[in-house]
Structure 1
Amino acid sequence: MENDDSIRCGACHRKLAEGQYLRLSIKCPRCGTINHLRATRPTPERHRASNPRRTSDEDLPHSPA
């Protein structure tokens, strides 16, 4: 069973390591490729704009007559 934290070579897909990382440079012993890996940043939550509730029709824009 493959672990989600397995680190594989980008060229030959050999499993190089297992774990978590922020930044990592590792050379593949099979093909010699130097793999540079960097953790992705999570997308920030977006705050929703406030939406005040209107209590009367006076707040609505009037169309010209």
Structure 2
Amino acid sequence: MQDIRCGQCNRKLGAGEYTRLSIKCPRCGALNVLRAERPTPESRRASHRGDSTHDERSRLGALQPTTP
């Protein structure tokens, strides 16, 4: 999580994660408009480690000769 602070008086307005946020500071009255710099990346697919079928296929594919 990330602290969300007023850009004018530096008062802590909250903590969390956001993509877009508009919040008015109760201390100084400044309107803070925040956007994420880049979107959160999608989670990666599960790896095939420990999958005996996948390991067997990669070993067999590496041993087979290629045709010209």
Could you tell me the TM-score, scaled by structure 2's length?
0.54
Partner residue, 1:5:
2
* Higher helix content, 1 or 2: 2
Structure 1 unpaired stretches of 5+: 43-65
User: Which stretches of structure 1, 4 residues or longer, exceed 4 Å deviation after superposition?
Assistant: none
Partner residue, 1:41:
38
Query: How far off its partner does 1:41 sit?
Result: 1.2
Deviations 1:6-62 (A, max 9, x none): 0000000000010000000000000000000000016xxxxxxxxxxxxxxxxxxxx
Match of 1:30 among 24, 27, 38: 27
Structure 2 unpaired stretches of 5+: 40-68
Could you tell me the TM-score, scaled by structure 1's length?
0.57
Query: How far, CA to CA, are the matches of 1:17 and 1:41 in structure 2?
Result: 20
| Larger gyration radius, structure 1 or structure 2 | 1
